[in-house]
Amino acid sequence: MRNTPGRGLPLAEQHEQYTARYSRRALFRAGVVGGTALAVGGVLPATGSAATEKVSGSALRPFGRHLAYGADPSQQVVVSWQVPAAVTAPFIRIGVSPTDLGTPIAAEVRTLTSQLSWQHPVEDEPLVKPKTVVQQYLHARLDHLVPDTTYYYVVGHQGYDPAGRLDGVATFHTAPAVGRGAGFGFTAFGDQGVGYNAIATANLISGLSPAFHLHMGDLSYANTDGDGGTDNKYDARVWDGFFTQNEPAAAQIPWMMAIGNHEMEPWYAADGYGGVRARFTMPDNAWSGSTGIYSWRYQNVGLISLDGNDICYNTPANLNYTRGKQLAWLKSTLAAMRADTTIDFIVVYFHQCVYSTCQDNGAELGAQQQWGPLFDQYKVDLVLNGHNHIFERTDPIRAGKATRKLASGDTVVPSKDGTTYVVAGGGGGGIYSFPGSDTYLGHETSNDGTQPMKVSDKDGHDTTVKVTWSRVRYTGYCLVSVTVTPASGTIPARMNVQALTEDGTAVDQFTVQR
């Protein structure tokens, strides 16, 4: 959905004012197995009947399973899910056979409580209703797994144990150890939401069966406004629909998420990410307490997730909230990755667009100024963004200018040509438009003239700049599919990048070569 830029108080100040006003209310709770309190955000945990089991555990079935890799996907996987009410002793069982799933491993419980008084439900409410929405998120961190191995798993709790009945068995596959695997694939999109187009793109992920999926932010649109304000329209239960919708894919394929502006939920924490921390377990290894900012690698590809809200002039509620820590970490991480001879490609993903000619959210000047020079310096191969609900792909860019034309079907060598930027915000959450005509594979138009790029400065003033790098534009729902092939003999490593519509039709294709 379109974002309405705001120039109000920083998110942290809004959260402080809000919690002062509601200091006697239970905004959220979090706990772990055994009842120990866990702080998800900046408000003290509440106590009381919300954690009391109301019905038999056998009637409460897990839903919304979703996977994530740890920083080392050959050994680390996190399985996350929900239950409709509090349960006793939640667990996961895993094994290399569906009929031998091992002993239960305790799961961590993160309970998120949201006041109905500050929500705008998207569905009708009953006459008699509770004052809060209580969501139970469970997470099981699995470590010391065997590389390149398929594991079977089930999740349960006291009163519900599906082991032995082949009820709800799912699988995941660990990555090969570095240097021991063949090629692999991954997919990516942003701005998904909940609906039939979102279901279609998620189903396409299942059909493609990638090693993992990247989600470039604006996941559920539970927060429909997305400007970080405490007056935003929000319905916490939309997240239930999001996870249930994606479970057929996300229960088998790790989804690695980045934070979008619609994930800023100021009711839970000063940085707005208390809800994110309850629902997801990403590596988050940039520093202690970082959220959605992390690095990891899969085989010969180094991957970096950034929080674009930190540098966003367009929606400035969290502008510079890391006080330069993210920028310093990005520089050191890029330097380390580029110095590692076993990493062929660096892929960076985050929500806001570095470069885009779509006028709805425009391009992000903060990213161009702060991160663009680092992408140039360390020869980043591919940058993936969402935010604008279209598909757009640039020519290779260095210092803000195209270095050459990269038509569909061509090959780019980033070490000499520069970085290619892709906006893939057509995950399902509505569609935007371009000021110029679409031009995509099989429907190319004359496209050597200029296109307008809109940017916002620090003061919120918009400027339009004429650019020549917008090579492919497609108005519609789609995702990015990347196939990575390692070097073999004299043939260098390469990534084949495609943009695919909901029915699998290719609208762009190019190769990134080491």
Q: What fold does the segment set 185-513 form as a domain?
A: Purple Acid Phosphatase; chain A, domain 2 (3.60.21)
pTM of the model: 0.92
Two tokens at 504? 């699998």
Residues 187-243: tens digit of each pLDDT: 999 999 999 999 999 999 999 999 999 999 999 999 999 999 999 999 999 999 999
Two tokens at 147? 């590389």
Percent of the chain with pLDDT over 70: 91
Percent of the chain with pLDDT over 90: 85
pLDDT in the model for residue 21: 66
User: Is a pLDDT exceeding 70 seen at residue 3?
Assistant: no
| Non-local CB neighbours of 492 within 8 Å, separated by 6+ positions | 513, 514
More confident residue, 226 or 6: 226
pLDDT in the model for residue 37: 30
User: Is a pLDDT exceeding 80 seen at residue 291?
Assistant: yes
- Sheet strands side by side (includes 63-69): 63-69, 77-83, 132-142, 108-115
Tell me the average pLDDT across 426-441.
97
pLDDT in the model for residue 377: 98
In this structure, what DSSP letter does residue 425 have?
-
Distance from CA of residue 296 to its chain's centroid? 14
Q: What is the DSSP string of 390-406?
A: SEEEEPPEETTEE-S--
Tell me the average pLDDT across 178-195.
95
Whether residue 205 contacts residue 479, with contact meaning beta carbons closer than 8 Å, is answered with yes
pLDDT in the model for residue 460: 85
Distance CA 260, CA 385 (A): 10
Distance CA 47, CA 24 (A): 12
pLDDT in the model for residue 42: 31
Distance CA 218, CA 239 (A): 12
Distance CA 54, CA 79 (A): 25
Residue entry with tokens 């992000």: 364
Residues 13-42: tens digit of each pLDDT: 777 776 666 554 433 333 333 333 333 333
Two tokens at 474? 């497609």
pLDDT in the model for residue 35: 32
pLDDT in the model for residue 23: 52
Which of 366, 509, 342 lies closest to 440, judged by CA?
Answer: 509
Tell me the average pLDDT across 455-482.
96
User: Is a pLDDT exceeding 80 seen at residue 475?
Assistant: yes
Distance CA 291, CA 274 (A): 9
Residues 58-75: tens digit of each pLDDT: 999 999 999 999 999 999
Terminal-residue alpha carbon distance, the chain: 37
More confident residue, 46 or 22: 22
pLDDT in the model for residue 22: 58
CATH 3.60.21.10 in the chain is located at 185-513
Residues 303-320: tens digit of each pLDDT: 999 999 999 999 999 999
Which of helix, strand or coil describes residue 225? coil
Q: What is the 3-state secondary structure (H, E, C) of 455-503?
A: EECCCCCEEEEEECCEEEEECCCEEEEEEEECCECCECCEEEEEEEECC
pLDDT in the model for residue 34: 33
- Sheet strands side by side (includes 255-257): 255-257, 212-215, 184-189, 478-485, 494-501, 506-513, 411-412
Q: In whole angstroms, how far apart are CA 108 and each of 61, 132, 292, 293, 391? A: 17, 22, 19, 22, 38
The H or E element containing residue 202 is helix 196-208
- Average pLDDT of the chain is 91
Backbone angles phi, psi at 49, to 5 degrees: -75, -10
* pLDDT interval class at 5 (50, 70, 90): very low
* pLDDT interval class at 421 (50, 70, 90): very high
